[in-house]
Amino acid sequence: GAVVSQHPSWVICKSGTSVKIECRSLDFQATTMFWYRQFPKQSLMLMATSNEGSKATYEQGVEKDKFLINHASLTLSTLTVTSAHPEDSSFYICSARGRWTVGGRTDTQYFGPGTRLTVL
Amino acid sequence: AQTVTQSQPEMSVQEAETVTLSCTYDTSESDYYLFWYKQPPSRQMILVIRQEAYKQQNATENRFSVNFQKAAKSFSLKISDSQLGDAAMYFCAYRSANNDMRFGAGTRLTVKP
């Protein structure tokens, strides 16, 4: 099965509302989570990096008050898009690095299947 | 900051033929990793191949191989015996020692039957 899952896979919301995207790891302790945004026909752009139990480090130009990241446990990270606007419509992908719950460390970075956000 | 450049927005190959996707990067670091990822229409990122910068030997995974030229900061991907299922977006990626992964703009590969 997939190491990293995301929920929901797609979401449509009204402008001004907040949307939470969950990223979970299975049989894997995600000590570091990465959140990417991908606009249509473009590459993945790193938004922020978070280590479990610590505040996220945001890339330049990414508003930390708008994109709230919580990485409270080794298996769950959430991205909340606050007061979403149509320009926030994008494909959001999480990615995890860490260690297997059983079996030791790996430096492979695992990607979730992504969440498509559409803001009307 | 590290940058990754893929100069071929689109490439096309005939089924069973060989195609090479180009990638160059810019860095001042000596310790890093390079990757090629495949993104099919499902949008799931799939690791194709990885290369550690300290290794001189080019990585190979079945039909996929790389030509890693560290001095030239070049990291091309060769796909041999192309299959219809190879059609996808291919992203070259660089990961630094501080674990930051950066992606190139991508190359859309079409495989013609």
Give per-residue pLDDT as tens, A58-104: 999 999 999 999 998 999 999 999 999 999 999 999 999 988 888 77
In this prediction, residue A72 carries a pLDDT of: 83
In this prediction, residue A101 carries a pLDDT of: 85
Helices (H), chain A: none
In this prediction, residue B38 carries a pLDDT of: 97
Q: Which of B43, B95, B104 lies at the smallest CB-CB distance from A91? A: B43
Chain B nearest C-alpha distance from A15 (Å): 25
Contact status, residue B36 vs residue B92, Cβ threshold 8 Å = yes
Task: Please name the residue that has the structure tokens 């494909």.
Answer: A91
Q: Which of B106, B110, B112 is nearest to B38 (CA)?
A: B106
Any CB–CB contact under 8 A between A11 and chain B? Answer: no
The token pair that represents B6 in the structure block:
């893929």
In this prediction, residue A106 carries a pLDDT of: 80
Residues with Cβ within 8 Å of residue B40, at least 6 apart in sequence? B46, B87, B88, B89
Chain A nearest C-alpha distance from B43 (Å): 7
Confidence of residue B89 (pLDDT cuts 50, 70, 90): very high
The token pair that represents A60 in the structure block:
């330049």
Q: Which of B109, B91, B92, B93 is nearest to B101 (CA)?
A: B93
Q: What is the CA radius of gyration of chain A?
A: 14
Contact status, residue A106 vs residue A43, Cβ threshold 8 Å = no
Q: Which of B43, B47, B102 lies at the smallest CB-CB distance from A113? A: B43
Average pLDDT over residues B10-15: 98
In this prediction, residue A1 carries a pLDDT of: 62
Confidence of residue B47 (pLDDT cuts 50, 70, 90): very high
